[in-house]
Structure 1
Amino acid sequence: MMLTRHLFNFCGALAALSLLGIAVLILSQIGLRLMGSQIPSADDFAAWGLSASIFLALPATLIRGDHIRVTSLRQLMPKRLGHIADILAAAFAAVMMGWVAWAIFGYVHESWTYNEVSQGVVAVPLWWPQSAMVLGSVLFALAFAERTLRLILGLPVESDDTNEQGRGE
């Protein structure tokens, strides 16, 4: 499970790089427009970077416990019942995200099969930027499956630098 944690964190780093790429792209576009020029298809590249940053950040965000959750009902439950509810919720989320990943893969596979390209000035095969959605959703489903297994085994489900070094919760 340590390998998956590193993989999830690596995808989080890729998400951060995508955001950095968007910032560089926008700043470059501003500078070039002031000089009377522009980057072809900059809007497309920024949108693809945003999509990549969202999907690639999902698994890393889950293992750090940073997703928004409604815990009001969970806090009212007895400890054992709450633990069972956590397991069921994580298992349900793993199944649902597996289905979502499969649907996204089908969507991207169609783009690849039909050689779809972007309609902007720069014709990019759409399956290239869409692949980040597949990777992110597959790893998100895997992160939920791992969370389910960790809950069943009684292992910690969330980690961050402070918790792993013994300074946190």
Structure 2
Amino acid sequence: MLRRLRQGLDAIYFGCGVIAAAFLIAMLGIIVAQMIARWTGLVFPGAASYAGYCMAGASFFAFAHALNRGAHIRVGILLNAAGRHRRWLELWCFAVGSVAAWFLARYAVNLVLWSRKLGDVSQGQDATPLWIPQMPMAIGSVVFAVALTDHLLQIVFAGDHGIRSDTAQQSRAE
């Protein structure tokens, strides 16, 4: 049961990384389309806003995947200096991070709900309903909060957060 849960969570984190990559590709496509529109004298209303929405979506969807892969900036020097107290310091960091992430997730979801309820639209020529570009932020925030809580629970019950750092950090830590 726990093994399936672990595989499922890892698949969700990886899937979020794939979605983040798709947002980056979409952002590239929008920027190229905007360049072509300028060269040909056409207008692409809202292109800068759409590229910004894609960048935000890529960032928020990448959070959980990056955490799971050890790509987030962590204070490795401080953790290594903690010595035998390293587990307690990591426990504290993941607890504070989890609380902050759930706080962000709550407000991100509320932002989407209120934007939809109020019919809020962007200020540009495109007048995009804002709940649509806010949705990736809300989903990414919730998945990131789940990931932080997941790694916190791994420290509590397994004694290790399960994050495998990139090769350069790992070789220095060993």
TM-score over 0.5 (shorter chain): yes
Tell me, which stretches of 5 or more residues in structure 2 are unaligned? 1-5, 168-173
Partner of residue 85, structure 1: 89
What is the deviation of 1:130?
Answer: 0.1
* 1:29 counterpart residue number: 34
Is 1:94 matched with 2:109? no
1:109 is matched with which residue? Answer: 113
- State the Cα distance separating 1:38 from its structure 2 match: 2.5
1:157 paired residue number? 162
CA deviations on 1:27-82 (whole Å, 9 max, x unpaired) are 11111211111312101101100110111100000000111111222211223x11
Q: 1:46 is matched with which residue?
A: 51
- Letter aligned with residue 162 of structure 2: V
Equivalent residues of 2:82, 2:89 under 8 A apart? no
Long gaps (5+) in structure 1? 163-168
Residues 81-90 or 58-67, more deviating: 81-90
Poorly superposed stretches of 4+, deviation over 6 Å = none
Separation (CA, whole Å) in 1 of partners of 2:88 and 2:165 = 24
- 1:1-12 equivalences in 2 (<5 Å): 1-12=6-17
Distance 1:136 1:16, change over 3 A: same
C-alpha displacement of 1:96:
1.1
3-state SS, counterpart of residue 86 of structure 1? helix
With structure 1 as the length reference, what TM-score do the two structures score? 0.89
Name the aligned partner's letter for residue 87 of structure 2: H
1:85 maps to a residue whose letter is: L
Deviates more, 1:126-135 or 1:26-35: 26-35
Query: May I ask how many residue pairs the two structures share in their alignment?
Result: 162
Task: Tell me the amino acid that sits aligned with residue 4 of structure 1.
Answer: L
Seen in structure 2, the aligned counterparts of structure 1 residues 155 and 73 have a Cα distance that, compared at 3 Å, is closer
Give % identity.
30
1:56 to 61, 80, 83: 61
**Alignment CA distance shift 1:60-1:105 (3 Å):** same
Q: Which has more helix, going by share of residues?
A: 2
